[in-house]
Amino acid sequence: MIADDLASQLGRHLGDPVAFRDAPVRLGGGFFTDNYVFRLTNRTEPWDGHLVARLFPTSAPDLLARREA
């Protein structure tokens, strides 16, 4: 499930468990990516607003994420 995987990865990055204020919801669009918008609970800037996760498939061309960033 995307919410569990995303919470796990964000928890590793942020250094503690995370909880969702608004659970991830899939957005439309995205040629290569699946895009999800969500909000976290009890966070300060820049993590306190709406956030978007862009998930690239393993079949995406090498360095695509870096080029798009």
17-46 residue pLDDT tens:
999 999 999 998 777 789 999 999 999 999
pLDDT greater than 80 at residue 57: yes
Is there a cis peptide before residue 46, judged by omega within 30 degrees of 0?
A: yes
The pLDDT value recorded for residue 29 is 79
* Pairwise CA distance, residues 54 & 35, whole Å: 5
The pLDDT value recorded for residue 21 is 97
The pLDDT value recorded for residue 56 is 86
Distances (CA, A) of 55 to 6, 23, 44, 45: 10, 16, 24, 23
